[in-house]
Structure 1
Amino acid sequence: MTRKELIQLVEQILDVEKYTEDQMNEMLELLHRNVPHPAISDLICYENLSSEEIVDKALNYKPIQL
Structure 2
Amino acid sequence: MDDKKGAVHERLTKAQIVDLVTSLYNGEGSEKEVGEWIELLQRNVPHPDISNLIFWPEKDLTPEEIVEKALNYKPIVL
Does the TM-score normalized on the shorter chain lie above 0.5? Answer: yes
Aligned pair partner of 1:57 in 59, 62, 69: 69
Consecutive unaligned residues in structure 1, runs of 5 or more: none
Runs of 4+ in 1 over 6 A off after TM superposition: none
Higher helix proportion: 1
Consecutive unaligned residues in structure 2, runs of 5 or more: 1-11
**Residue correspondences, number:** 65
Instruction: Give TM-score scaled by structure 1 length.
Output: 0.91
Aligned pair partner of 1:9 in 12, 20, 30: 20
Instruction: Give TM-score scaled by structure 2 length.
Output: 0.78
CA distance in 2, matches of 1:49, 1:34: 19
